Amino acid sequence: MGRRLDRRALTCISLVLAGACLPSLLAVGPAGAEVSQKGNLRGTFNGGISPGKLPRAELAPVTVTMGGKIATTDRTVPPKLERIVLAINSHGRLETKGLPTCSLAKLNSLASADAKRACASSLVGHGNVTSRVSLPGQGAFALNGELLAFNGRLNGHQAVLAQVSSGAPLPLTYVIAFEVKKQNGAFATQLIGALPPIASEYGYISSFSLSLSRRYEAGGQKRSFASASCPAPQGFTRAPFPFAKASYSFAGGITLGATLNRECKVRGK
């Protein structure tokens, strides 16, 4: 029977996991959030993977979630958010083999409902974006937008194209393009999102959420856009692991970042 790790064992394994035993995009424990602050600027980071239990060796389909909030401690307007980066643990996988793509140009020219119909076969996720907008001669107000994520290409690389559409009082449609890049190291898959101007520079993103998940069939095989395993050491049913590194980059050169540490649980033996 598997054992639950005590505090000392968890600390030890968390160091060992930087090597060959490092779990991948793994199931997470209770949802948590990490906070980073510089001066009056504060960023909150959250994310993880479901289901809560995964096989020890083979990969299984998962849903990857990420999100966060941006605020200032004195309620002043924060600097412009220019880039969001999520670097995911190197043992997980984002697969797009045989999955159709939707172009950035098409998403920039279509309303949300039309984009969902035209690019339904490339849909890989959904979410929400809240912006704070302050137009000349009007008071500040919150603007909520639905997010639809599509498989695409950008600069010759795999990409997740997140179209955001808001309704009243200010209908807007824009795309956050997350370029997917591969690198060496513990966090081998990077999603790098460039932020467009919001409401002609009169608004800023205050919070967002994104959930990525898609099962499909290609080449006669069942596939998953995101998959993971939980290779905890033999004899144990759970272990801690660094799920991802996340960062927000702002105008003026300010960057807030955090490592999202989660816990993996083994399904079966």
| pLDDT at 95 exceeding the cut of 70 | yes
Whole-number pLDDT of residue 25: 38
* Token code pair at residue 127: 């979410």
Predicted model pTM: 0.84
Pick from 55-64, 159-168, 191-200, 214-223: least confident: 191-200
User: Domain 7-267's class?
Assistant: mainly beta
Burial class (CB in 10 A: 0-12, 13-18, 19+), 126: middle
The domain ranges of the chain are: 7-267
Lowest-confidence range among 83-87, 124-128, 185-189? 185-189
pLDDT tens, position by position, 238-251: 878 788 899 999 99
229 in Cβ contact with 55 (< 8 Å): yes
Nearest to 239 by CA among 56, 7, 13, 53: 13
Contact 132, 142 (CB under 8 A): yes
Instruction: Find the mean pLDDT for residues 94-122.
Output: 94
Cis omega (within 30 of 0) for bond into 196 = no
pLDDT-derived band at 32 (thresholds 50, 70, 90) equals low
Tell me how far apart the alpha carbons of residues 249 and 236 are, in angstroms, rounded to a whole number.
38
Residue 41 pairs in a beta bridge with 38, 72
